[in-house]
Structures are given as C-alpha cells and as structure tokens.
Amino acid sequence: MTPPNPLKNDLFLRALRREPVERTPVWLMRQAGRYLAEYRATRAKAGDFLALCKNPELACEVTMQPIERFGFDAAILFSDILTVPDAMGLGLHFVDNEGPAFHHPLRTEEAILKLRVPEPEAELGYVMDAVRTIKTALAGRVPLIGFAGSPWTLATYMIEGAGSRDFVHAKRLRYDRPDLLKTLLSKLAEAVALYLAAQVRAGADALMVFDTWGGALDPQGYREFSLAAMQDVIERLRVLAPGVPVILFSKGAAAHLGEMSRSGAAALGVDWTASLADARKAVGGRVALQGNLDPTSLFARPEKVRELVAGVLADYGHGPGHIFNLGHGILQHTPIESVAALVEAVRDLSPAYQQAS
C-alpha cells in the first residue's frame, strides 16, 4: 500500500460526492496525448504507444505533463483500456494511423470459454507500477483517476479484432448467442473489477469505466449487455474497493442516464449530444455529472471557447455535483491555446455557479 498522502486539491473528489466546492473542478479525457508537443517527445523516446504504456517512468512523465501545463484538478493514469485483453492473451498491437488491433480475435466458442481472468499484479504489473510511480510524483497535488474499459466495449474490440463501425461480429453474438456473450461479459466484469481494485491498492483515488461503444446498442441490448455488466463491476468493487467513487461513461447513451444513475456509480460522464440540464433532471440528484463540451469546439477561436464553456456551466446551472470535462477525448490536433482558454474560463466563471441559486 502507498502511504496515505493528504490531497492539497480535493475539488474533484468533493464534486464527486456532490459536496459544495469553491469552483467547478476540470480535467479532460485523453488530457495526456498527441496534442501536446511534450507528449510526442516522450512517446518518441519510448518508441511507440504500447512501449510508453509499459514503461512506468515514461507513463508517469506523460501523466504529469498536462497537470504541469494546465493545472488540471485531476490526473488520469496513462494507459489504455486494451491492456486487459492483451493480458488475456489476445496480442494487442497498434497499427499506425489505424488504431488498435489483436492478433487473436475471439471468433469461436472455444476461444471464449478458454479465456482466463488475469491476475493484475502479476500480468498487469506495469500498470500498477505506473500508478505507484505517478502517486509519488503527484505528492498529493491532485487526485489520481484509475480506469478500465467496460466489459461490453472491451468485448467489441476482442470480438471484432480491431476498431469497428458496425460491430457485425459482436452484434451477431449478441443476437444469436446471448448466452455466450454473457459468459464473456461476466469474465470481463471479473477481470475489470480485479484490475480496478488493484489500481486502488496501488494508489488510485477514483475510478472511471469507459463504455465507448455502449451507445451502439439498441435500448434492450444496452441494458442487458452494457449496463448490466458495468453494474456487475460496481457490485464487485463495493466489496473489493469499498467507498471508492466510480464514474461511468457510456458514449451516445443519453437516453439511459436515468437507469445509469441507479447503478451505484458516483458520477456519470455525459457526451456533448445531451444537455446537462436534461441530464440533471434524468439523474434526480443521485449522481454527479461530468462533461460535456464538444471536443471539436476547441478548434474554434479562444474567445468562442470561453463562450462555449460559459454555456456548459449555465446548462448545468447552480449547485454542486458538476465536474467540467469534454464530451469525449481531446482530439490530436487541438490547439493548446484553446485548452488554456477552457481552463481559464472554468476558473473564472464557475465560482458563481457553485453557490445554490
């Protein structure tokens, strides 16, 4: 166990508990990444993206870069959701400009039944080492977010063998062999819960589950295959890592926010296609909300960015329980000035909203 380190800035954790804060905390999904020159330099030193993930010192270096540059209120472990299927033996690699792919996609019943749940400290030790190294480097400056992919989102990559637009193989399983898909999701829920609990033991202060492709499912499918498996993860974490807040982010799933708010999560990520005011009504004060500026809006001029930030804050409205973020990951060619303008606008404009109306 890492010795407890009192946090100097706990705005993010207080907002997750829906406690009053002086201003709205802000961090960005994918805040360590290619839009930063210093990230590109460290990545070049590592060789490639996966080598960067597997090198705890360098993973720590890139985690700290956006904290140093912009003073975000939370750090997020630098890693990838696909480390878990990699540890399950699927052979992860990244094809330049095409994204992730697996050497051994799951295409047979036998392959699914043979899958083994990895032991995090042994088979994903490099991630736990990164968490410990980052915790030491942060020295209590801001909280550290650990994360994993949702079982359904991991399953889509594992079954398709790469990114996909239509998820033909994964959805064929969903319709023709729901029993087999559930067997896979249940193994993944166990793997994800053990992985996240190990990150907490290594020092993570909060956890986020990225369900990037939940919104690709039909409503019944979302409930049965995406949300149910995330709930399985949360229930396991209640035992394995009691009291640690979990943020669920299902992209494209605004219609399901009400149900998600009953999952036991502390907060929900909201993408930019939803209004935060509507989201707030849907969740009825049961969870905090994180979001939701359109990442592409950062390509507008900085004055416009400030106006759009003001719009997101006003949309959430008065009172606690808002964490400012984008509606999805920051894009590769995002201008640095826009990110600086975003952070400055949140700092300037949010205190007015933190008082009850």
Catalytic residues: 30, 34, 43, 80, 157
CA 127/CA 11 separation, integer angstroms: 25
Q: Is 261 in the site for ligand CP3 (CB under 6 A)?
A: no
The three-point CA angle 152-153-155 to 5° equals 60
In degrees, rounded to 5, the angle at the alpha carbon of residue 63 between the alpha carbons of residues 2 and 79 is: 85
Query: Which residue in 36, 82, 159, 287 binds ligand CP3 (CB under 6 A)?
Result: 82
Distances (CA, A) of 25 to 85, 216, 248: 32, 30, 17
Instruction: CB nearer to ligand CP3: give 18 or 188.
Output: 188
> Which residue lies nearer to ligand CP3 by CB, 98 or 110?
98
- Which of 12, 35, 72, 78 binds ligand CP3 (CB under 6 A)? It is 78
Judged by beta carbon, residue 148 or residue 309, the one nearer ligand CP3 is 148
Residues 310-349 that bind ligand CP3 (CB under 6 A): 329
3-state secondary structure of 162: strand
| Least distance CB 209 / ligand CP3 (angstroms) | 10
Contacts of 356 (CB under 8 A, 6+ apart): 318, 319
Which of 14, 23, 30, 187 lies at the binding interface for ligand CP3 (CB under 6 A)?
30
Bridge partner list, 69: none
**Distance between CA atoms of residues 72 and 23, nearest Å:** 12
**Site string (144-163) toward ligand CP3, x via CB under 6 A:** ---x---------------x
- Nearest distance, CB of residue 108 and ligand CP3, angstroms: 24
The least CB distance from residue 208 to ligand CP3, in Å, is 7
Q: Please report whether residue 49 would count as binding ligand CP3 according to CB under 6 A.
A: yes
**Of 36, 27, 306, 34, nearest in space to 143 by CA:** 27
Cβ 99 to ligand CP3 shortest distance, Å: 4
Residues 201-220 that bind ligand CP3 (CB under 6 A): 210, 212
What is the rounded distance in angstroms from the CA atom of residue 285 to the CA atom of residue 161?
39
Candidate ranges 30-38, 183-191, 265-273, 292-300; the one touching ligand CP3 (CB under 6 A):
30-38
Residue from 5, 17, 34, 125 in contact with ligand CP3 (CB under 6 A): 34
* E strand spans, the chain: 75-76, 92-95, 99-102, 144-149, 206-211, 246-250, 267-269, 288-293, 322-326
**Residue of 36, 30, 343 lying closest to 208 (CA atoms):** 30
Residues near ligand CP3 (CB under 6 A) are 29-34, 43, 49, 76, 78, 80-82, 99-100, 147, 163, 210, 212, 329
